[in-house]
């Protein structure tokens, strides 16, 4: 795909006049998908796709559009030249953009990890063997993901990663199930077998009679998958400079120093160890790390080129929405094997969903427990807990209410495949929290 992208970029650049600048962004993948139901393969397929975005600039006017690439040279040249012509025709009719900013320092790069994945068929064999006798439902996505940037100034950036993401549940009956995930760049059969064995153990508890709890405050353990739902919600406007400057950020009180988190919280946008490309909008290289919270104090923000131009600060290469792609929460001191003992009596939460803000300025979040949530007494799982609604602030969950974070962390990939497989990921520990509020 790299040769397809670069040859197309070279051909389009040769068509420009002296007063034109062209930016090109590429997204492609070669992905295998396997869908499971009832512990069997129900659907399997492969997707090869590539798209190219063009942004034609003359002065401070620019027009953008995208086109699908077929891999056939003549076809793709005709398509991209037609799009270039439409953008050129549009330029006289669009207003000047005061916030337009793109990199004029030609800094090229190549970052492509080795493909160490087994075939989708081999992974599927492991899944079916480990799930034998269960009602497993889920989807496997695996293969290569590619991103590219080029401009007519001569810059070329290329990124490729090879990863898998298995998102699955083991069903007991009705809505009683355990939900699990395993993702990464290297498939480990033994590690997956351990994850499946843990899911089976939880499934055996799911079938018991539910323990009823009343609304109130409880000591809880939020597994990494549950904590990720809270942290990901913060990404929608929390860390971006634009929402902070316009005072719409749910983290505004932390940004302005009115609120802090626990000193144990070190939250980073860690592109160096994630699966997202190390270059961003406008051709700006992204720093390996942006420290968002350091010792509980808010530190730096994600800054798109447009925000950088508007507010006169350096860009971090963030996209227009200034969403994080590779969140990394530093581990704590609690061993995962000791979680139940440290929890004592309380609630073990594996998953959350349907999250939204109940009080955005206060960074107060509401949502529901999902699937395997357990009542724990004296360090032992006793029974499942029916679905409950929670309502809590981030400043409590990762602030004064935080008891500890686990030493071990999970690598979690976004399962989104809208348009294409996502490159977003996070690396998170679990969290022990005191006085976590359930409202229904």
**For residue 205, what are the contacts with CB-CB under 8 A and spacing of at least 6?**
372, 374, 381, 383, 384
Q: What local confidence, expressed as pLDDT, does residue 403 receive?
A: 98
pLDDT given at position 202: 94
Tell me what pLDDT residue 295 has. Answer: 98
Residue indicated by tokens 């909008």? 281
pLDDT tens, residue by residue, 54-78: 999 999 999 999 999 999 999 999 9
Confidence (pLDDT) at 113:
86
Q: How large is the average pLDDT for residues 354-383?
A: 96
Residue 179 CB partners (closer than 8 Å, separation 6+): 168, 169, 225, 350, 351, 370, 371, 372
What are 314-348's pLDDT values in tens digits? 999 999 999 999 999 999 999 999 999 999 999 99
- pLDDT, position 281: 83
Ordered by where they begin, the domains of the chain are 2-206 (3.30.2290.10), 216-438 (no CATH)
- The string of pLDDT tens digits covering residues 105-159 is 999 999 998 898 999 999 999 999 999 999 999 999 999 999 999 999 999 999 9
Specify the long-range contacts of residues 129-135, CB closer than 8 Å, at least 24 apart. 130/192, 130/193, 130/196, 131/36, 131/39, 131/168, 131/170, 131/196, 132/39, 133/39, 134/39, 134/170, 134/171, 134/200, 134/203, 135/38, 135/39, 135/170, 135/171, 135/172
Contact 336, 352 (CB under 8 A): no
| Amino acid 343: pLDDT | 98
Mean pLDDT of the chain: 96
pLDDT in tens, 273-297: 999 999 998 999 999 999 999 999 9
């Amino acid at each position: 795909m790299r040769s397809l992208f670069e040859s197309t970029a070279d051909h389009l650049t040769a068509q420009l006049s002296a007063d034109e600048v062209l930016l090109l962004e590429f997204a492609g993948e070669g992905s295998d998908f396997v869908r499971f139901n009832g512990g069997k393969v129900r659907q399997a397929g492969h997707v090869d796709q590539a798209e190219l975005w063009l942004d034609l600039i003359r002065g401070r006017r620019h027009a953008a559009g995208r086109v699908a690439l077929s891999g056939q040279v003549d076809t793709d040249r005709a398509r991209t030249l037609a799009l270039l012509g439409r953008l050129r025709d549009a330029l006289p009719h669009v207003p000047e953009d005061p916030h337009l900013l793109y990199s004029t320092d030609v800094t090229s790069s190549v970052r492509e990890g080795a493909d160490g994945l087994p075939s989708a068929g081999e992974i599927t064999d492991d899944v079916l063997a480990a799930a034998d006798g269960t009602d497993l439902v889920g989807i496997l996505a695996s293969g290569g993901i590619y991103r590219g940037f080029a401009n007519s100034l001569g810059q070329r950036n290329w990124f490729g990663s090879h990863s898998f993401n298995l998102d699955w549940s083991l069903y007991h009956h009705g809505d009683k199930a355990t939900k699990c995930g395993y993702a990464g760049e290297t498939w480990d059969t033994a590690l997956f077998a351990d994850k499946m064995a843990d899911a089976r153990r939880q499934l055996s508890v799911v079938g018991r009679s539910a323990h009823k709890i009343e609304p109130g405050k409880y000591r809880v353990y939020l597994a990494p998958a549950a904590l990720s739902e809270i942290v990901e919600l913060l990404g929608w406007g929390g860390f971006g400079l634009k929402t902070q400057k316009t005072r719409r950020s749910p983290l505004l009180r932390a940004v302005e120093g009115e609120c802090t988190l626990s000193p144990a919280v070190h939250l980073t946008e860690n592109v160096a160890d994630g699966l997202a490309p190390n270059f961003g909008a406008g051709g700006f290289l992204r720093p390996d790390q942006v420290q968002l919270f350091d010792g509980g104090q808010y530190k730096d923000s994600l800054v798109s080129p447009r925000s950088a131009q508007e507010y006169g600060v350096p860009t971090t290469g963030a996209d227009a929405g200034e969403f994080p792609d590779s969140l990394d929460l530093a581990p704590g001191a609690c061993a995962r094997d000791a979680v139940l003992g440290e929890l004592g009596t309380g609630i073990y939460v594996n998953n959350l969903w349907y999250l939204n803000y109940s009080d955005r300025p206060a960074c107060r979040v509401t949502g529901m427990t999902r699937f395997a949530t357990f009542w724990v007494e004296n360090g032992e799982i006793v029974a499942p807990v029916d679905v409950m609604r929670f309502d809590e602030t981030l400043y409590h969950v990762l602030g004064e209410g935080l008891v500890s974070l686990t030493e071990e962390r999970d690598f979690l990939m976004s399962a989104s495949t809208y348009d294409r497989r996502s490159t977003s990921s996070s690396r998170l520990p679990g969290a022990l929290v005191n006085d976590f509020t359930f409202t229904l």
